[in-house]
Amino acid sequence: MLDAFRDAFRLPDLKRKIFFTMGVLFLFRLGTHIPTPGIDPDAMASLFDQGGVLGFLDLFAGGALRRFSVFALGVAPYINASIVMQLLVVVFPALEKLQKEGEQGRKKIVQYTRLGTVFFAAVQAIGMTFWLRNLGVFSGGWVGFVAAIITVTAGSLVVMWLGEEISDHGIGNGISLLIFAGIVARLPEAVIRTWSLLRMGEMNVLVITLALILILVVIAGCVLLQEGQRRLPVQYAKRVVGNKVYGGQSTFIPLKVNQAGVIPIIFASSVLLFPSTIARLFSGEVSAMIQRFLSPGSLVYMTLYVVLIVFFSYFYTAVVFDPNDTAENMKKYGGFVLGIRPGKPTAEYIEKVMSRITLGGAVFLAAVALLPTLMTRLMGITTFYFGGTAVLIVVGVALDTVHQVEAQLLMRHYEGILKRSKGKTAGLLKF
């Protein structure tokens, strides 16, 4: 593993990408500590000590919402805009055609997503500021009120820009890494608070031990989920091109059990949190009921959470994986699945297999996301929000980033790998 990191930093281009990513993450964390003018920090902290949906939102914001900093909204508006845009692409043929037009079409889709981000950021900023003003947390006048809305909205757009910069010039998925950084940044504080309560005798050692064991089990389950795959055997027929013979070999198509990664978790969380955010704009029984039902840990929330995870698992898998393209490429190069005719029958077979393993992966994904939440509530751990959602995101993003670094190493050291003696490989292949 140490050799892998050493190899990564020996490559100037890869080293530049790693340092660029680290620099952007530093700027993001710096922005989470820049407060929005007019906010009473003590009153704001007392609200979040009550837990509920606010603590859950703050988890993804990396503590920025607790301080109501300029990055208080985090990546939530961008995620909401991405969800809406992907749904619109499926519904409207014009957008679907635009997406298939190549780089120019993709740029237009990205531009529409950015405009959607502005809209969602403005709506959420107005909702949060109104709510804080009604609670007496915001002490500024109307000028300060408008300035706070503009500041928080602009901060959300800056976060979107930072994520895109990581994706374009760094290593890993930018938006996912920002969420990752926000979650990881809360861990030292959670450990310190838990240790303080343990020393004061307000928490049981046995409970903490069971919670740590549960965390390790969930992490192991997350790794198995992210790395699990169904290998579909493929046989390639022999082809004669000139004086050379190609094909005649057996291989496989790796179908990931969790093709969508952590996207279903992120999307499901964002969809459920958005109505409760809007509900804070209003007062009355209906608003209170929405906030109560959609509070993390409630029966309604967990039920909808499972349903949305399954839905987005299928939806995003359909977006990133097309069985028809896979079948056509196999047919083009003389590949076929044993017992299945090439072409459309192969595509239908791959879709059938993919549907089955996606269901299993989605159910397991939902179980891992909910089990720690239920257990921590039974154990009475309230010092920090520990849930499978956070663990899945952290593990998933970490594995995805490692795989991207590995791909970069393979691309640059391909000849070196073949020439190494005693079967030694380079980079992260030593895992």
Q: What is the pTM of this model?
A: 0.74
**Per-residue pLDDT, 372:** 65
In which residue are the tokens 């939530």 written? 76
Structure tokens at 330: 């196999």
Are the C-beta atoms of residues 229 and 257 closer than 8 Å to each other? yes
**Per-residue pLDDT, 241:** 59
pLDDT in tens, 171-228: 888 888 888 888 888 777 777 877 887 788 767 777 778 777 877 887 887 788 778 8
Total number of domains in the chain: 1
Instruction: Supply the CATH number for residue 170's domain.
Output: 1.10.3370.10
Give the bridge partners for 236, in sequence order. Answer: 335
Distance, in Å, from the CA atom of 324 to the CA atom of 229, rounded to the nearest integer, reads 19
**Per-residue pLDDT, 161:** 92
Radius of gyration of the chain (CA): 24
Phi first, then psi: what are they for 256, rounded to 5°? -70, 140
Structure tokens at 32: 């989470």
Are the C-beta atoms of residues 157 and 64 closer than 8 Å to each other? no
Structure tokens at 308: 């949305």
pLDDT band of residue 66 (cuts 50, 70, 90) is: confident
Are the C-beta atoms of residues 172 and 404 closer than 8 Å to each other? yes
What average pLDDT does this structure show over 35-52?
Answer: 69
Among the ranges given (103-112, 128-137, 225-234), the one the predictor scored with the smallest mean pLDDT: 128-137
Distance, CA of 261 to chain centre: 8
Angle between helices 263-279 and 299-320 (to 10 degrees): 130
Q: How far apart are the first and last CA of the chain?
A: 6
In which residue are the tokens 């530049």 written? 16
**Per-residue pLDDT, 255:** 85
- Which residue from 300, 349, 297, 342 is spatially nearest to 323, judged by alpha carbons? 349
Distance, CA of 389 to chain centre: 9
pLDDT band of residue 401 (cuts 50, 70, 90) is: confident
Distance, in Å, from the CA atom of 150 to the CA atom of 122, rounded to the nearest integer, reads 8
- Which residue from 421, 403, 313, 326 is spatially nearest to 359, judged by alpha carbons? 313
**Per-residue pLDDT, 264:** 85
What average pLDDT does this structure show over 277-284?
Answer: 69
What average pLDDT does this structure show over 300-320?
Answer: 87
Range of the domain at 51: 2-430
pLDDT in tens, 117-137: 999 899 888 888 877 777 777
How high does pLDDT run on average in the chain?
77
The sign of the CA dihedral 24, 29, 33, 37 is positive
pLDDT in tens, 342-365: 888 888 888 888 888 888 888 888
Q: What percentage of the chain has pLDDT greater than the value 70? A: 79
**Per-residue pLDDT, 418:** 35
Among the ranges given (65-74, 80-89, 245-254), the one the predictor scored with the smallest mean pLDDT: 245-254
